[in-house]
């Protein structure tokens, strides 16, 4: 078994976790190579990503080209995708070595050469004002929006920016795409869920669109066409808690708020 170990050196405390992962692999005589996030290489058939959800998103996109599973160890903030924490690392790594994990294929979106596991966020070129967006699906006009932007999201990304913008929570293994307007200047614009086979186009009469895949640096384009990618992200989980349990534990879904005094 050969393993890629990917780490994000921008996150505080990565050194201790990386050292423990490497030591555990060495003790168990597992062949591995470690790569900083911006220098990933395809060395092994399994990947351990140390960081936050952003680290896992980057690693999952990169290793999807060779259908390599990615297992996340969260040392960031929320860690919605990286369900394993830095506690009990030796036991976690031993389970990886013995194959005690489950795999999930996740839909990704594609626009030209850009991939997104969470979403494409589309905004106007002037962030200080609303813009007009023309939405087409399969070449047919669907809706005109005056809004701050649009979020084109996978089910995995439905619990990210799309959730904050009022979009629905979609079970992560469904084949669907969600279109969520950001602060639309109307009372009748609602999120739209479409089959994964649809081709989504967004244009604007206001000049250029600012497009960011998975929170990466935005680029300016005149229009954009987004569809489901042929590549799938493959995520590995040691403890299969279930999506609804993760919603409750990470996002406090269905838990009554408690009164706190300032």
pLDDT tens column, 35-77: 999 999 999 999 999 998 899 999 999 999 999 999 999 886 6
User: Among candidates 213, 194, 176, which has minimal Cα distance to 61?
Assistant: 213
User: Partners of 65 in the beta sheet?
Assistant: none
Distance CA 52, CA 233 (A): 16
Percentage, residues of the chain above pLDDT 70? 92
Q: How far is CA 111 from the centre of its chain?
A: 16
Total-model pTM: 0.91
Looking at residue 244, its pLDDT comes to 80
Band of residue 78 on the pLDDT scale cut at 50, 70, 90 = low
Average pLDDT of 181-191? Answer: 92
Looking at residue 250, its pLDDT comes to 72
Q: Six-digit token pair at 15?
A: 């050194």
Distance CA 20, CA 17 (A): 5
Looking at residue 260, its pLDDT comes to 58
Looking at residue 80, its pLDDT comes to 67
Q: Name the residue with higher pLDDT: 79 or 26.
A: 26
Q: Six-digit token pair at 189?
A: 């614009």
Specify the domain boundaries for CATH 2.60.200.30 within the chain: 110-229
Looking at residue 239, its pLDDT comes to 72
- DSSP-derived 3-state class of residue 97: helix
Q: Name the residue with higher pLDDT: 74 or 105.
A: 105
Specify the domain boundaries for CATH 3.40.50.10330 within the chain: 2-101+238-251
Distance CA 141, CA 134 (A): 8
CATH fit for domain 110-229, picks 3.40.50.1820, 3.40.50.2000, 3.40.50.300, 2.60.200.30: 2.60.200.30
CATH fit for domain 2-101+238-251, picks 3.40.50.720, 3.40.640.10, 3.40.50.10330, 3.20.20.20: 3.40.50.10330
pLDDT at 262 over 60: no
List Cα–Cα distances, 102 to 44, 154, 240, in angstroms: 18, 21, 7
Looking at residue 75, its pLDDT comes to 85
Catalytic residue among 53, 119, 148, 214: 53
67: left (phi over 0), alpha (psi -120 to 50) or beta: left
Catalytic site includes residue 53: yes
């Amino acid at each position: 078994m050969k393993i890629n170990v990917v780490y994000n050196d921008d996150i505080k405390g990565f050194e201790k976790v990386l050292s423990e992962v490497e030591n555990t692999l060495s003790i168990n005589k597992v062949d591995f190579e470690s790569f900083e996030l911006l220098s990933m290489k395809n060395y092994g058939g399994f990947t351990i990503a140390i960081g936050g959800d952003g680290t896992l998103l980057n690693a999952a996109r990169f290793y999807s080209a060779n259908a390599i599973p990615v297992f996340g160890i969260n040392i960031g903030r929320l860690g919605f995708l990286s369900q394993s924490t830095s506690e009990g690392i030796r036991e976690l790594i031993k389970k990886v070595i013995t194959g005690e994990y489950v795999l999930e294929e996740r839909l990704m979106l594609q626009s030209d050469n850009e991939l997104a596991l969470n979403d494409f966020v589309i905004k106007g070129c002037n962030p200080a004002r609303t813009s007009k967006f023309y939405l087409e699906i399969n070449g047919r006009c669907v809706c005109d929006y005056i809004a701050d932007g649009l979020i084109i999201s996978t089910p995995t990304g439905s619990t990210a920016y799309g959730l904050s913008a009022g979009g629905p929570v979609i079970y992560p293994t469904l084949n669907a795409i969600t279109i969520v307007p950001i602060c639309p200047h109307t009372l009748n614009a609602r999120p739209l869920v479409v089959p994964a086979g649809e081709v989504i186009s967004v244009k604007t009469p206001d000049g250029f669109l600012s497009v960011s895949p998975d929170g990466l640096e935005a680029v300016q384009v005149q229009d954009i066409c987004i569809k489901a990618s042929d590549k799938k992200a493959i995520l590995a989980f040691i403890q299969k808690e279930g999506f609804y349990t993760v919603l409750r534990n990470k996002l406090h879904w269905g838990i009554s708020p408690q009164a706190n005094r300032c």
